[in-house]
C-alpha cells in the first residue's frame, strides 16, 4: 500500500524532473528506488501540516468548539493539559498517504498522558504484526497502547501514548507532536509492509 501510494504521490508531484518530498518520503523513495529519473528536493518538516484541517472539540459531548488554522500548531503541546476538556481532531493528506484515517490528540484524564487515537487501514490479519511493532517501539509499561479491529470500518482502532514514543518532549509544539506521530506511523507502516 505505502509503495503504491508513494508512486502515485510522486507522479502527481513531479514537475520539471524534480519532486519535493519531506524527509520520511525522500528516504523511502531512495530506499525503494523510486527516484530513477528525477531530482528530489527535501522540504522543511515545519510545512508538512500547513494544509491540515483542525478542530477543537469538547471531550464529553464531542461538540465542536472551533476550527483552527495551521497557525494553531505553534501552540505548545501543554495546551491540551491546560484544556483537559478538549481534544484536537486532525485530517491531512499526509496521514491519508500512510493509511491513517483522521487523528485525534488528547490528554488522558486518568494518567495525564498525551494520547493519539486514529484508524489504521490494515487488514485484520496484520494484528499480530501491529502488536509486535507497538510492543517493541513504544517505550513504556503495559497499557501504553490499545488496539482493536473495527469490523464495521475495516480499520484498526489504535490508541497510543505519545509519551512512550522516542523523541517525545512535553515542551514540544502541537506541530512537532504531529510530526513525531507521523514519523512513528510512517515507520510502522513501512516496517509492517516490508515484513509481510
- The closest alpha carbon to 38, from 23, 17, 16, 8, belongs to 17
pTM for the full predicted model: 0.91
Tell me the residue length of the chain: 196
C-alpha separations of 154 from 9, 23, 120, 157, 159 in Å: 24, 30, 9, 9, 16
pLDDT tens sequence across 145-169? 999 999 999 999 999 999 999 999 9
Q: Where are the domains of the chain?
A: 2-43, 51-195
Per-residue pLDDT of the chain (196 residues; tens, 9 = 90+): 898 888 888 878 776 677 888 999 999 988 988 877 778 889 998 899 999 999 999 999 999 999 999 999 999 999 999 999 999 999 999 999 999 998 999 999 988 999 999 999 999 999 999 999 999 999 766 568 999 999 999 999 999 999 999 999 999 999 999 999 999 999 999 999 887 6
Pull the grid cell for residue 97.
Answer: 498517504
Whether the CA torsion 83, 86, 91, 96 is positive or negative: it is positive
Residue 112's φ and ψ, nearest 5 degrees, are 75, 15
Amino acid at each position: 500500500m505505502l509503495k503504491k501510494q508513494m508512486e502515485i504521490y510522486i507522479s502527481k508531484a513531479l514537475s520539471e524532473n524534480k519532486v519535493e518530498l519531506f524527509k520520511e518520503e525522500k528516504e523511502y523513495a531512495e530506499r525503494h528506488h523510486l527516484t530513477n529519473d528525477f531530482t528530489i528536493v527535501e522540504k522543511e518538516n515545519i510545512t508538512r501540516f500547513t494544509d491540515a484541517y483542525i478542530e477543537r472539540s469538547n471531550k464529553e459531548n464531542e461538540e465542536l468548539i472551533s476550527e483552527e488554522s495551521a497557525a494553531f500548531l505553534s501552540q505548545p503541546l501543554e495546551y491540551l493539559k491546560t484544556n483537559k476538556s478538549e481534544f484536537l481532531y486532525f485530517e491531512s493528506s499526509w496521514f491519508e498517504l500512510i493509511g491513517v484515517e483522521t487523528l485525534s490528540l488528547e490528554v488522558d484524564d486518568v494518567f495525564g498522558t498525551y494520547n493519539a487515537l486514529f484508524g489504521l487501514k490494515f487488514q485484520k490479519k496484520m494484528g499480530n504484526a501491529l502488536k509486535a511493532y507497538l510492543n517493541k517501539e513504544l517505550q513504556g509499561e503495559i497499557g501504553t497502547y490499545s488496539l482493536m479491529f473495527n469490523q464495521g470500518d475495516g480499520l484498526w482502532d489504535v490508541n497510543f501514548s505519545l509519551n512512550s514514543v522516542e523523541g517525545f518532549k512535553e515542551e514540544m509544539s502541537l506541530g512537532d507532536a504531529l510530526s513525531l506521530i507521523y514519523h512513528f506511523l510512517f515507520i510502522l507502516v513501512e516496517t509492517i509492509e516490508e515484513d509481510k
